[in-house]
Structure 1
Amino acid sequence: MSRDRAVDALRAYAIGGVVLGHWLVTGLVLNDGGGLHQASPLSAVPALAPVTWVLQTLGLFFFAAGFGSARSLARNRGGSGGWLAGRLRRLLLPAVALLGVGAAVLLAATVAGTPDDTLNVALRLAVSPLWFLLPLLLLVASTGPLVTAVRRWGVARCVAPAVAVVAAADLVTRLLPAGVDMPPVTVVVAWAVPYLLGVAHADGRLAGRRAAGALAGGGAAALVALLALGYPVSAVGVPGAGVSNLNPPSLLAVALAVTQVGLGLLARPALERLLARPLPGRAVTEVNRNAVRIYLWHQPVLVAVTALLARGGLALPGLHTAPDDPGWVLARCCWLPLFAAVLVTLVRAGRPSERKGPAGRWRGRRPVGRVRPGGAPGVRSSTFRPGRLQEVIAVRDSDPPSRGRADGQPR
C-alpha cells in the first residue's frame, strides 16, 4: 500500500501552520531586569485574529494522524499489539528526549544566572507542546474500534456524538460563574472529529468532490453561525480574554477543523500535481519524516534564540520588543528565517543516522553484495568493494511520527 502524497502535503502544511503560528503570536519582551516575559500581538491588534484560521491547523494534523493510523493498522493485520506498541513508542521517545535535553539546558541556564522570568517562560513554552500527546495517544490506541465503528455506522453517525459533547461542554462553560473553569473534557472528544474523518478517508470514504465540498461548506456555515452566536474570532487563545476556542477546544475549533479537511480534500488534484515536482516532493517528505521533532522543538528554538540574543541587553525589534502594533509582526517575520535555520539544524542533528545507496534509493539493512564474476545468477557476495557504504531501509508509514526499520521499529 503506497503513501498518499496529498495527505502527506496536508500533514506538512499542518505542521508548518502550527510552527509559524506560534512563532508569530508568541512575543517575548525584554524587561528592565534582563528577563523575558510572554506577550501576544493578538491582544494589542485584534484585527490579526482571522489570520489564526489559516495557522491553527491542528485539525489537519489529527486528520492526517487518523488516516495514517488506519492505513498502518490495515497493513499490520494480525499483529495489532506490536503495531500499537511501536506506534506509541514513536510518539513518546521524541517527547522523552525533549524533556531530558530541556532539563539539562534549564539546569545549565540556572547555574549561569539566567533570570527567573526567562526560566519560567522557557519551561512553560517547552512543555506546552506536549499537551497533544494525551489526545493523540488515546486516539491512536482506539484506532481499531474506530475503524470498526466507521464501517458499521458510517462516519456521520460516529462524528455526531462527539460534536454533541463539545456543544454541551461549551454551553456549560458559558453558564459557569466568572472565574470558574470547566475541566477540559473536550480535549479528546473534539479532536476525535478530524481523526475520525481521517480514519474514514483511509477506508475509502470522503473520496469524491461532493463529500469534500459538503465538509468545507458545512464547516464554513457552522463557523459563520458560531461567530454570530458570540464565539471569539481568534482560533487560538488570547491572553486576557475570558473564553478561548482552543483551551479547551470549542465548537468553533471543530468547525474550523472540518472546514480545513474539506478544503484539503478539494485541493487533492492540485496537491498531487504539485508533488510530482522534485523540490516540493522532497520538502514534503522531509517534513513528514521529522514531523514530531519539528512540533516538539519549535518552541524551545524560539526561546533559546531570543534568550541568547537578549544577553547583550539590547531590545531587538520583533524579538524583544512589545508586540503592540502591526510593525512588530513585520519585524518578527524578518526573524523567521533564523528560527527556521536553527530548527532544521537541530532536527537533523537529532534524528537517527540514515544513508542512501549508490542509486539514491533507500535499501535494506543487510549488506547488498555484487554478483561474483562467473558465479551463479542471483548469488551475491557478502563483501563490498572498497569504499562502498552499507545501506539501510528507511521506509515510512503514512503518519506524522512514523519511522521505518532504520529506527529499529516493527513494521
Structure 2
Amino acid sequence: MRNRYLDLLRFLAILRVVTYHVTGYATLTLVFPAMAVMFALAGSLMAASLDRTGVPAVARRLRRLLPSLWVLAAVFVPAMLLTGLPFSPKVLLWLFPISDPPANYWGGLALSPIWYLRDYLWFVLASPLALWLFRRAPLPTVAAPYALLAAIEFGVLLNPPTVLREFGLYFGAWLLGFAHHDGLLRRMRNRVLLPLAGVLAAAGGAWIVTHPGPRGYDINDIPLGNALWATAFILVAIGRAPTGAAWVDRFPAFGRAVTVVNRRALTVYLWHMPFVVALTPLVGLVGWSTTDPVGLWVRVGLVLALVGVVTLLVGWVEDVAARRTPELVPGKPRRSAAERAADAPASPAPAGAAGGLVGAAARAPAPRRSPDGSADPLSGRLR
C-alpha cells in the first residue's frame, strides 16, 4: 500500500520545481530542497524494487524511465536539428543519456532538466552494488558521497567529470532513501536524529551564507551547502515520516491531484521547462516586468495549464512503461466488488413467470406421494 505522506512530499516537490523555474525565487530552494527530496524518495523505491526482484529491477526501472524521455526527444530533437543542431553520433544520447545529450541554442535551456534523468540513470545503475555496500557498512557508505563532494569543493579533486560531481551532490540523498526503506532512519532516536539534523542545517546554512553564488543564496549554485542543508531536511521530513496521511484523500479533488502528479511526475518534470522558456518573452508584450508578482504567478498558472494539456496527450506513456492500464487522468476511484455486483443488471425472469425473479425453491416441482402417503424421494430430482 502506498504511503500517502510520501506521495504528498513528491507532489509538493514537483510543484516547487515548476514554481521555482518560473519565478526564480531563491528562497524556494531553501524552504524545500526539492531535488534532494526527489532523489531520496527514488532511492527508497529503488531499494524496495531490488529487494523484490534483485538486479533485474535495474532494467525495470530504466524501462519506466526512458519512454517518457523518448517521447520528448521525438518532438524536440528534430526541431533542434532543423534549427542548427549538428547531426552527430552524440544525438543518440537522447535515447540513453549517460552524459548530457547535445542541444542547440534554445534547446539547451528548454531541455535543461535532462540532467535529472542523467543522474537518475547513473544512480539506478549503481544501486545494486551501493545497496550491497550500504547493508554491510551503512555509515561509511552514506558518508562517501559527502566526502567526495568536499574533496571537489576544497580543490583536492580538480576538474572532476560532471557525473562524479553529481554523485557527490545527490547520491547521499539516494542512499538516505535506502536508509528510509530499511527502517534505519525510523529507528534513530530523536535525541540522535534531531541534533544531527540541527548540526547539518547549521553547517549548511553557514556555508550558504558565506559562499553565495551568482544568484545569491540559491542553493543550486552552492553544492556543499546544498548537500548539507538538504540532508538535514531529509532526516526530518522523511526520517520522521508518518506511516500515512489519510487526510489527503478526505478532500477528493486534492487527493486526486496528488495521485495525478505522482503518476505523471516524469511527464510534468520533462515538459514544464519548454513552456517556461516559451512564455518568458510574452511577459514584456503584455506590459509586465520580469519581477512583477502578478505576471510571475500568471505565468505559473499558464505553465501548469499547458503542462496539464501535454500530460493528457502523452502522460499515458508512463502507464504503458509501468505496465499499467493507460489512463488519461489517473486516480479514478475504483468500486469494490460488492458495489459492482449491486449495480449489475438483474437476469430477466423466465418466460411465463408471474413477475420479477422467482426463487429456485418456488420453481421446484412438488414431490409425488407414494401409495402409502409418504413422499417419493426421487420425484423431485432434475432429469
TM-score, structure 2 as length reference: 0.70
Q: Please state whether the residue corresponding to 1:3 is helix, strand or coil.
A: coil
Cα distance in structure 2, aligned partners of 1:109 and 1:362: 50
Q: Would you say how many aligned residue pairs link Structure 1 and Structure 2?
A: 310
In 2, the alpha carbon distance for the partners of 1:348 and 1:216 equals 40
**2:238 counterpart residue number:** 265
1:145 aligned partner: 129
Are 2:299 and 1:335 aligned? yes
In the alignment, which of 251, 263, 275 is matched to residue 224 of structure 2?
251
Q: 2-side partners of 1:187 and 1:280: how far apart?
A: 34
Residue-by-residue CA offset, 1:315-370 (whole Å, 9 max, x unaligned)? 2344xx4x3xxx5244211221111111111112112232799x94299xxxx9x9
User: Which residue matches 1:170?
Assistant: 153
Q: Tell me which residue corresponds to 2:206.
A: 225
Q: 2:271 aligns with which of 288, 297, 300?
A: 297
Cross-structure match for 2:182: 203
Q: What residue in structure 2 maps to residue 73 of structure 1?
A: 50
Instruction: Please give the alpha-carbon distance, in whole angstroms, between the structure 1 residues aligned to 2:145 and 2:45.
Output: 21
Q: CA deviation at 1:288?
A: 0.9
The structure that has the greater radius of gyration is 2
Structure with larger RCO (C-alpha < 8 A, sep 6+): 1
Distance 1:160 1:106, change over 3 A: closer
- State the alpha-carbon separation in 2 of the partners of residues 20 and 300 from structure 1: 14
- Quick one: which amino acid aligns to residue 170 of structure 1? E
Q: Give the deviation of 1:9 after TM superposition.
A: 1.7
Q: Is 1:189 matched with 2:168?
A: yes
Residues 12-71 of structure 1: CA deviation (Å, up to 9, x unaligned)? 22222111111112xxxxxxxxxxxxxxxxxxxxxx543431254110010011011111
Residue 260 of structure 1 and its aligned partner are, at CA, apart by 2.1
Percent identical among aligned pairs is 30
Unaligned runs of 5+ in 2: 85-102, 317-325, 349-383
User: Quick one: structure 1 residues 213 and 270, their matched pair in 2 at CA, closer, same or farther if it must change by over 3 Å?
Assistant: farther
Match of 1:12 in 2: 11
Q: Residues 147, 107 of structure 1: CA spacing in aligned structure 2 closer, same or farther, 3 A cutoff? A: closer
Output the CA distance in 2 between the equivalents of 1:371 and 1:72.
42
* Cα deviations by residue, 1:133-190 (Å, 9 ceiling, x for unpaired): 2221111122222222222112x321212111111110118x98xxxx6643311222
CA deviation after TM superposition for structure 1 residue 245, in Å: 5.0
C-alpha distance after superposition, 1:101-137 (max 9, x if no partner)? 1134557889xxxxxxxx9663122221111222211
Contact 2:185 2:239 in 1 (8 A): no
Q: 2:77 aligns with which of 103, 112, 127?
A: 103
4+ residue stretches of structure 1 with deviation over 4 A?
104-110, 370-374
Offset, 1:231? 1.7
After superposition, where does 1:49-60 map in structure 2 within 5 Å? 49-60=26-37
How many Å separate the matches in 2 of 1:252 and 1:294?
A: 27
CA RMSD of aligned residues (A): 3.6
Residue 216 of structure 1 and its aligned partner are, at CA, apart by: 3.1
Aligned partners of 1:189 and 1:22: how far apart in 2?
23
Find the aligned partners of 1:183 and 1:138 in 2 and give their Cα distance. Answer: 13
Q: Residue in 1 aligned with 2:20?
A: 21
Give the whole-Å Cα distance in 1 for the aligned partners of 2:65 and 2:329.
25
CA distance in 2, matches of 1:124, 1:73: 34
Aligned counterparts of 1:105 and 1:217: Cα–Cα separation in 2: 48
Query: Which residues in structure 2 correspond to 1:268-347 (within 5 Å)?
Result: 268-269=241-242, 272-277=245-250, 278-306=252-280, 309=282, 315-318=285-288, 321=289, 323=290, 327-347=291-311
The answer (yes or no) to whether the contact 1:9–1:271 under 8 Å persists in 2 is: no
Sort the Cα spacing of 1:68 and 1:333 in 2 relative to 1 into closer, same or farther, 3 A: same
Give the whole-Å Cα distance in 1 for the aligned partners of 2:181 and 2:335.
25
Partner of 1:393: none
Query: Does the 8 Å contact 2:4/2:246 carry over to 1?
Result: no
Partner Cα distance (1:131, 1:66) in 2: 17
Contact 1:21 1:56 in 2 (8 A): no
Answer yes or no: is the 8 Å Cα contact 1:147–1:200 preserved in 2: no
The answer for the alignment partner of 1:113 in structure 2 is none
